[in-house]
């Protein structure tokens, strides 16, 4: 993959970073009072997050048990989520129609938070996967360079956020959650509308996965002046950010993740498995269906000699550990598989970006950033919510 193509890929995670310019296209505002414009909204008819999250727990000795999931519609806090680049709509900007791709990503990345918070996830007109692929191939779609195209997604999310604050928040604490392009949108939202502003008092934390959040070297703040990185689950008003890579495949020099421009800052890395620092055990919920990129079905055999489970998710206690590391100019979440060849459980996981039959090392485990630490993050949100309520 050429440097030019990698530059195009960066648009997926940071398409909104450039800010507004003179627009050549006008996009009318969405009506976020209309719940049809929300992908998830706890309690609404057709809530995309009201789904089956049943999990098969596969232990090291190969024994299995089934874990059910129950959401809490009366949760004391809220979560506001912005999804990553998933739309296969034909143009450079997606429609507001809810498609299988959006349904799939909230199943993988969001719905499980419903045990700890009411969920609000707006649809927004994002820069599409179709346009991204075209740009990667050197044949950008007509109009994809229009500054309005790069701003419409942020404008939508800003409108949805303002509607939520004015009509649904009612003084409740809220956790911001995003991945990839969704994290990029939230980074801009925090920078412009939250950091150091009155609404920051309502923000319990921000979980920004698969994105580059600059922090000053030796400090806990950087781009966000008054929202430091999180170091404990009792801390509020803080940020959890990371990009994950296998310890066996570290980020190559051309990777988009784990590095920020300039020498005075590094990319924030907070380990959800150990907020205080050091190694920790990941409580993963790995999808037992095609990943959000539409790649082939996972080939993992979870326990030798047994048929694969049919539940939507798999959890494998003790299989994965993580640690934030700084290596070769990169700062990232290093994922280690605790392989034990002598036991019947799998010694590997799927999750790499595969192109033309080869792993694209520059992307790391971007596809499963959320799945890897989902259980840890849900627990953190629950603990942070209690800490936020205690401080009120």
Q: What is the pLDDT of residue 179?
A: 98
The residues, any chain, with a CB within 8 Å of residue 288's CB and separated by 6 or more, are 56, 298, 308, 309, 310, 311, 312, 313, 314
Q: What is the pLDDT of residue 313?
A: 96
Q: What is the pLDDT of residue 103?
A: 96
The rounded distance, in Å, linking the Cα atoms of 337 and 326 is 19
Q: What is the pLDDT of residue 143?
A: 86
Q: What is the pLDDT of residue 154?
A: 98
Q: How many CB atoms lie under 10 A from the CB of residue 171?
A: 7
* Whole-structure pTM value: 0.93
Q: What is the pLDDT of residue 290?
A: 53
Q: What is the pLDDT of residue 3?
A: 33
Q: What is the pLDDT of residue 175?
A: 98
Q: What is the pLDDT of residue 373?
A: 98
For the chain, residues with pLDDT lower than 70 are 1-24, 289-298
């Amino acid at each position: 993959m050429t440097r030019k193509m990698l530059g195009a890929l960066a648009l997926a995670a940071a398409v909104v970073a450039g800010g507004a310019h003179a627009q050549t296209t006008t996009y009318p505002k969405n009506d976020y009072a209309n719940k049809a414009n929300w992908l998830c909204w706890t309690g609404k008819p057709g809530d995309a997050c009201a789904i089956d999250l049943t999990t098969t727990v596969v232990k090291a000795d190969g024994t299995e048990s089934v874990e059910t999931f129950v959401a809490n519609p009366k949760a004391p806090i809220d979560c506001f989520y912005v999804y990553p680049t998933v739309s296969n709509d034909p143009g450079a900007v997606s429609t507001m129609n809810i498609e299988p791709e959006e349904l799939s990503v909230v199943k993988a990345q969001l719905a499980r938070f419903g045990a700890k918070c009411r969920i609000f996830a707006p649809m927004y007109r994002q820069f599409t996967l179709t346009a991204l692929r075209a740009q990667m191939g050197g044949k950008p779609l007509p109009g994809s360079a229009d500054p309005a195209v790069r701003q419409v997604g942020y404008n939508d999310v800003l409108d949805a956020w303002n509607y939520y604050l004015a009509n649904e928040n009612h003084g409740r604490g809220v956790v911001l959650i995003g991945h990839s392009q969704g994290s990029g949108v939230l980074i801009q939202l925090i920078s412009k509308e939250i950091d150091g502003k009155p609404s920051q008092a309502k923000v319990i934390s921000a979980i920004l996965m698969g994105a580059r959040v600059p922090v000053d070297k030796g400090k806990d703040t950087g781009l966000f002046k008054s929202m430091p990185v999180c170091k404990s689950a009792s801390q509020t008003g803080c940020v959890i950010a990371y990009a994950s890579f296998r310890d066996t495949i570290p980020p190559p020099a051309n990777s988009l993740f784990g590095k920020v421009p300039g020498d005075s800052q590094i990319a924030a890395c907070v380990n959800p498995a150990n907020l205080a620092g050091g190694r920790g055990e990941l409580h993963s919920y790995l999808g037992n269906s095609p990943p959000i990129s539409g790649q082939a079905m996972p080939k993992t055999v979870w326990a030798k000699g047994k048929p694969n489970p049919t539940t939507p998710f798999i959890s494998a206690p003790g299989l994965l550990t993580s640690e934030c590391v700084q290596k070769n100019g990169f700062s990232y979440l290093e994922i280690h598989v605790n392989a034990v060849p002598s036991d019947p459980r799998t010694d590997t996981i799927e999750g790499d970006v595969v192109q033309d039959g080869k792993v694209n090392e520059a992307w790391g485990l971007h596809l499963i950033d959320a799945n890897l630490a989902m259980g840890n993050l849900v627990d953190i949100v629950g603990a942070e919510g209690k800490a936020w309520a205690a401080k009120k």
